[in-house]
């Protein structure tokens, strides 16, 4: 289980570096992120893994528009979100919303998306 979690986290970290990947690959990335979230709820992630996850999440959020554009070419993200039963806490399933939301820096200064 621990090796599998490490493999999924590493794959997710790699995936967020390629917003131009195919929509199917990116949907798979969102599924991986949900798998990581389930493991985190069970407190299976180490502190180092949580730091890595946070860095990967920041990359995903900052490029939400690009990821969403790739996904929307092949799938309806809202339909996938419903099929997965994604809650609002699973923000990664809401790239369509994030794509149209200004990113705010730590000092509350809007950052262009």
Other residues' Cβ atoms within 10 Å of the Cβ of residue 37: 17
Separation between Cα atoms, residue 28 and residue 50, nearest integer Å = 20
Q: What is the pLDDT of residues 25-58, one digit of tens each?
A: 999 999 999 999 999 999 999 999 999 999 999 9
Q: What is the pLDDT of residues 59-105, one digit of tens each?
A: 999 999 999 999 999 999 999 999 999 999 999 999 999 988 876 55
Number of domains in the chain: 1
- C-beta of residue 70 within 8 angstroms of C-beta of residue 26: yes
R_g (Cα) of the chain, nearest Å: 14
Please give the pLDDT value at position 104: 57
Please give the pLDDT value at position 111: 47
Separation between Cα atoms, residue 34 and residue 12, nearest integer Å = 10
Please give the pLDDT value at position 106: 53
Tell me, what DSSP letter sits at residue 92? G
**Could you list the residue range(s) of the whole structural domain that residue 6 is in?**
2-111
Tokens of 94: 């809401």
């Amino acid at each position: 289980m621990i090796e599998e979690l490490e493999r999924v986290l590493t794959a997710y970290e790699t995936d967020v570096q390629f917003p131009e990947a195919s929509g199917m690959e990116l949907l798979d990335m969102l599924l991986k992120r949900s798998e990581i979230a389930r493991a985190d709820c069970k407190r299976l992630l180490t502190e180092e893994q949580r730091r890595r996850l946070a860095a990967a999440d920041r990359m995903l959020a900052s490029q939400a528009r690009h990821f969403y554009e790739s996904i929307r070419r092949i799938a309806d993200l809202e339909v996938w979100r419903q099929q997965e039963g994604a809650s609002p806490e699973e923000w990664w399933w809401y790239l369509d919303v994030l794509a149209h939301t200004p990113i705010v820096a730590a000092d509350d200064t809007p950052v262009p998306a």
